[in-house]
C-alpha cells in the first residue's frame, strides 16, 4: 500500500504533515510506503526532526508549486501544473500510488482528482463523505462540498455511495438514508429535494426514511444524510463553528467563580471525552467518493493526529474495497 501525501497542504505544512506521517508509519503497519510530495529542500530539512531521515518507507517527490487557500481551484489544473496536489493525483493516475492524502485546498484536491483520475464507471459526480458524531455513534453527510449544484440523479448516487461507506467503514447494517430538507413532509423543500425524494422511494435495496430536518440529524434517527455540496458545506462549517462557540462559552461559565471551577475540575474527564468525540482530528479526513482512485481530504487546520488518521482512512478505504462496491451498486441502480 503506497500513499502520496501532499506535504505542502494545510495551514502549518509541511512540518505538521510530516509529523503526522511519522505517527502513521509507527502505528499502521499496512502502509508500505509514503511519498511526500512538495518542496524537496523543505521536506529534507524536517525529516531528521521527526526521526524519518533515511526511513525505508519514505520517499520524496519534488513539486515546485502550491495551490494556496485563497487561490481558485482551477489553478491546480491550468496555472500550477506542478503543484503538490496535482503531482499527487498524477502519481495516482499513473498507478504509482494507491491513495492521495491532502489537507490543502479542498477545491483544488477535488478538481485535480476528477481531472486526473476521472470518475468511477457509472458515477456522474463525486461527493465528499464527512462523518459527524452523535450521542450514540456517527452519521455521515454526502456531499460536503465537491458538487455544489446537483441533479436528482446526483443525489441518488450520493445516497448509494453513502450507504456503502456506512456499511464498509462504519460497519452499520442496513443504514438509514435521509434527504436533508426544510421539513419532513414530501411537499416541503425545493424542486431538487422534492424530485429526489420521489425517486429515492423507488430505489431498491436502500433504507430510505424520507426527508430529514437539520434539527434531527444529530439525534440518531439517520445514518446517512444526503444533500447537494453547497448545502452540505454550509452544514459542515456551521457545525464546526457551533462546536467551537459552545466550548468557549462553557469554558467561560465554568471558570467564572471558585465553586464552578471545582465542579469543572471534577467533571474534567467527561469534558475531555466530549471534546475528543467532537474533534475533527479523530476522523482524520473525508473521502472524495466517486473518483477512480482514493483521495482523502483533510481539514486545513489539521494537526499531526488528524494527518495520521487521514492516512488510516485511506488504508481502510482500500482494504474494504469501497470503490469496487460503488461500481457494482451504481450498475445495479442503472439496470433498475
Report the top-level CATH class of 1-123+290-321: alpha beta
Q: Which CATH code, of 3.50.50.60, 3.40.718.10, 3.30.70.141, 3.20.20.70, is assigned to 127-281?
A: 3.40.718.10
Q: What's the farthest any 2 CA atoms get from each other in the chain?
A: 67
Contacts for 301 with CB less than 8 Å, ≥ 6 apart: 10, 11, 12
User: β-strand 33-38 against 207-212: which pairing, if any?
Assistant: unpaired
- Domains 1-123+290-321 and 127-281 equal at CATH topology level: yes
Q: What is the pLDDT of residue 246?
A: 83
The domain limits of the chain are 1-123+290-321, 127-281
Q: Which strand ranges, in their side-by-side order, compose the sheet holding 2-6?
A: 58-62, 33-38, 2-6, 99-102, 295-298, 285-289, 127-134, 137-142, 224-226, 176-180, 207-212
Q: What percent of the chain has pLDDT above 90? A: 71
Q: What is the pLDDT of residues 91-117, one digit of tens each?
A: 999 999 999 999 999 999 999 999 999
- Rounded Cα gap, residues 203 and 169, in angstroms: 22
Q: What is the pLDDT of residues 6-36, one digit of tens each?
A: 999 988 899 999 999 999 999 999 999 999 9
Residue 242 has pLDDT above 80, yes or no: yes
Amino acid at each position: 500500500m503506497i500513499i502520496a501525501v501532499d506535504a505542502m497542504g494545510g495551514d502549518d505544512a509541511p512540518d505538521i504533515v510530516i509529523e503526522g506521517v511519522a505517527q502513521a508509519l509507527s502505528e499502521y503497519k499496512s502502509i508500505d510506503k509514503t511519498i511526500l510530495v512538495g518542496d524537496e529542500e523543505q521536506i529534507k530539512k524536517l525529516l531528521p526532526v521527526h526521526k524519518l531521515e533515511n526511513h525505508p518507507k519514505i520517499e520524496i517527490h519534488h513539486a515546485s508549486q502550491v495551490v494556496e487557500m485563497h487561490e481558485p481551484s482551477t489553478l491546480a489544473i491550468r496555472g500550477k501544473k506542478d503543484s503538490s496536489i496535482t503531482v499527487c493525483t498524477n502519481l495516482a493516475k499513473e498507478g504509482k500510488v494507491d491513495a492521495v492524502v491532502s489537507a490543502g485546498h479542498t477545491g483544488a484536491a477535488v478538481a485535480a482528482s476528477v481531472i486526473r483520475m476521472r470518475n468511477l464507471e457509472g458515477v456522474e459526480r463525486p461527493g465528499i463523505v464527512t462523518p459527524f458524531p452523535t450521542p450514540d455513534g456517527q452519521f455521515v453527510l454526502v456531499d460536503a462540498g465537491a458538487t455544489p449544484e446537483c441533479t436528482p440523479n446526483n443525489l441518488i448516487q450520493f445516497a448509494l455511495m453513502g450507504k456503502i461507506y456506512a456499511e464498509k467503514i462504519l460497519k452499520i447494517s442496513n443504514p438509514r438514508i435521509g434527504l436533508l430538507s426544510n421539513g419532513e413532509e414530501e411537499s416541503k423543500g425545493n424542486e431538487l429535494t422534492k424530485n429526489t425524494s420521489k425517486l429515492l422511494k423507488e430505489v431498491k435495496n436502500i433504507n430510505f426514511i424520507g426527508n430529514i430536518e437539520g434539527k434531527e440529524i444529530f439525534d440518531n434517527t439517520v445514518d446517512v444524510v444526503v444533500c447537494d455540496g453547497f448545502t452540505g458545506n454550509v452544514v459542515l462549517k456551521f457545525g464546526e463553528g457551533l462546536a467551537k462557540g459552545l466550548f468557549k462559552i462553557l469554558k467561560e461559565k465554568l471558570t467564572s467563580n471558585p465553586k464552578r471551577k471545582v465542579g469543572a475540575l471534577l467533571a474534567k474527564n467527561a469534558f475531555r471525552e466530549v471534546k475528543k468525540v467532537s474533534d475533527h482530528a479523530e476522523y482524520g479526513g473525508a473521502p472524495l467518493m466517486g473518483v477512480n482512485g482514493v483521495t482523502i481530504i483533510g481539514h486545513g487546520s489539521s494537526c499531526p493526529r488528524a494527518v495520521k488518521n487521514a492516512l488510516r482512512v485511506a488504508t481502510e478505504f482500500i482494504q474494504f474495497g469501497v470503490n469496487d462496491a460503488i461500481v457494482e451498486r451504481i450498475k445495479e441502480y442503472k439496470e433498475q
